[in-house]
Structures are given as C-alpha cells and as structure tokens.
C-alpha cells in the first residue's frame, strides 16, 4: 500500500503503523513530499491492518518546514505556487478527519509546516532537545497551511497570536508546559515513551477510542472546512509579495532581510 511513496517510509509493529518523513537532511517539505502528505492519510484510513499511527522524521529533525530552494522557484512561477497551495487543505482535512489516533514522535525540530503536521496529530511526544515554531512571518508569509487554525485551538488566542505574529520558537519543554504538546522527554527515552503510549492505545477499546477522536475533532473539522481554503488563499497572496521573495533570498544568502511591506 505504501511502497510507491518516495519521501514517506512506512513500517509496522503489530497494528501500529509508523510513517517516517524521509527527505534528507532535514525533511523539508518539497512539492513531492507535500503531494504525498496530501493523500497518505486517506490511504491510512483505508488500511485495515493498523489501528494506531506514529508520525516521525528520519535523522535529526522532524521537519524543517518548506523547502526554501523550491520556494525561491515559486516566487517566479505562478503555476508552481498554485500547485503547492492547492494541496495544503487536503493535508489538514485528512489528518483531522482520520479516526485512527496519530501520535507525533517529535525526534527533532518542527518548523513551519513541520510544526503544523505535528500539532494536527492527536498526541505529541517530543525529545526535550527539540524546538517547535511557526516562523511563516519571518519569510514574509501568512501561516495559512494550518498553523492559524491549530495553534489557537491548542493554547488559546493570546499565546497563539504571539507565536504566530513573531515566529518565536518554543523548546519542547516549554511547549509541554503550556499545553501545545503532550510531553517532552530526554532523547534516549523518546522511543520508550512513544511505544508505551502507542501500545496503551492499541490495547484499548479501539472502536471507542476512534469514536472519541471523531467527537473531539468535530469542531476542528468544521473550522477547517470553513476556513482552510481561505487561510491558504491569504498565504498565496503573501507568497506573491516582494517581502516574501526578499526573505527567501536573504535566508539563502545568509543575510538579514529588508522588508518594505509590499
């Protein structure tokens, strides 16, 4: 079922399915991975061989977010911008609508879309060396890929506004303290913590657990249906801006950006 995926590796332990983002070196989300993320959770929904899903990253990062070289190309290619943006709502809808519990194993930093992917999961267990942030504004973009939806639901509008308007990162320990994620543990304890949690759910009343997840996510699903496309539209608007191009070029050239508000 998952053999055709190039940037997401699938493995099984009993009825626990692990999906590993695998796009070295930092699992940045290029168009190919973005496309795979937009439909893999539909395949998971049809997978009768799993009850629990673990989402993690290969190597030292969960996901560094968007691929900036590709974003540079997108600043000059309207068709590429449209292709990148059109898939994003499918990721949000599919992750929230999936009734199988998803545990994020945050093995390293989760930035931008990487943070959104983690926070759309039902339970996030992180290495305490990991950092999490949504720095869209730092590259001249609106947090339209699900960040503006999920952060306020998890930590309230006051805290979410601060982190989305500034892009300020949190350590995993800080994120756990304010309820953004479930737990932060030492890196050498991460696998045991994730496996124990997955086993606990897998050994429970699966039908009741899945129904409870659906109940919890109903409000989020309604909000996503109502707003995800509009959020992406706002991000697409900023993706065509001079500030975004300047931010991408500045990052690649290792210099501070000079924003003009255009």
Residue 48: pLDDT over 90: yes
Rounded percentage of the chain residues whose pLDDT exceeds 90: 82
Residue 233: pLDDT over 90: no
Whether pTM exceeds 0.85: yes
Q: Which residues of 56-77 are buried (b: 16+ CB within 10 A; e: fewer)?
A: bbbeebbbbbbbbebbeebbee
CA distances to 10, 102, 127, 175, 210 from 86, rounded to whole Å, are: 25, 24, 32, 30, 29
More confident residue, 80 or 128: 128
Mean pLDDT, the chain, integer: 94
Each residue's pLDDT tens digit, 202-213: 999 999 999 999
Domain architecture of the chain: domains with CATH: 8-189+202-206 (3.90.226.10)
For the chain, the maximum distance between any two Cα atoms, rounded to a whole number of angstroms, is 56
Question: CA angle at residue 102 from 57 to 12, to 5 degrees?
Answer: 65
Each residue's pLDDT tens digit, 133-177: 999 999 999 998 899 999 999 999 999 999 999 999 999 999 999
Look at residue 83 in the predicted model and tell me its pLDDT. Answer: 74
Look at residue 212 in the predicted model and tell me its pLDDT. Answer: 98
Each residue's pLDDT tens digit, 244-257: 999 989 888 999 99
Q: What is the mean pLDDT of residues 113-141?
A: 97
The kind and range of the H/E element at 111 are: strand 109-111
Each residue's pLDDT tens digit, 63-105: 999 888 888 888 787 777 777 777 788 999 999 999 999 999 9
Look at residue 164 in the predicted model and tell me its pLDDT. Answer: 98
The helix/strand/coil state of 109 is: strand
Provide the phi-psi class of 13: left if phi over 0, else alpha when psi is between -120 and 50, else beta: beta
121 bridge partner residues: none
Q: Hunting for tokens 């190597």 — which residue is that? A: 59
Q: Do you find a cis peptide bond into 19, omega within 30 degrees of 0? A: no
Look at residue 72 in the predicted model and tell me its pLDDT. Answer: 81
pLDDT grade, residue 44 (50/70/90)? very high
The stretches of the chain forming alpha helices (DSSP H) are 31-46, 68-74, 78-97, 113-119, 147-166, 172-177, 190-202, 206-239, 242-252
| Tokens read off for 14 | 């009993």
């Amino acid at each position: 079922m998952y053999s055709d995926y190039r940037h997401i590796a699938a493995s099984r332990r009993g009825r626990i399915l692990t999906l590993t983002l695998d796009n070295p070196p930092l699992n940045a989300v290029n168009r190919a991975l973005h496309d795979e993320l937009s439909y893999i959770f539909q395949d998971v929904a049809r997978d009768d061989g799993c009850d629990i899903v673990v989402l993690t990253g290969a190597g030292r990062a969960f996901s560094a977010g968007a691929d900036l070289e590709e974003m540079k190309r997108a600043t000059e290619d309207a068709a590429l911008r449209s292709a990148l943006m059109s898939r994003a709502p499918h990721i949000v809808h599919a992750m929230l609508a999936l009734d199988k519990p998803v545990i994020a194993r945050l093995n390293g930093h989760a930035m931008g879309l990487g943070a959104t992917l983690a926070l759309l999961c039902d339970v996030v267990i992180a290495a305490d060396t990991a950092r999490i942030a949504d720095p869209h504004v730092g590259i001249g973009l609106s947090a339209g890929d699900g960040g503006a939806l999920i952060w306020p639901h998890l930590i309230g509008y006051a805290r979410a506004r601060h982190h989305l308007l500034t892009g300020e990162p949190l350590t995993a320990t800080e994120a756990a303290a304010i309820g953004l994620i479930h737990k932060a543990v030492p890196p050498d304890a991460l696998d045991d913590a994730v496996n124990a949690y997955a086993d606990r759910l897998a050994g429970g009343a699966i039908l009741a657990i899945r129904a409870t997840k659906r109940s919890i996510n109903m409000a989020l699903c309604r909000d996503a249906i109502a707003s995800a496309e509009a959020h992406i539209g706002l991000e697409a608007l900023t993706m065509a801006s001079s500030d975004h191009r300047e931010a991408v070029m500045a990052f690649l050239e290792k210099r501070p950006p000079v924003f003009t508000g255009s």
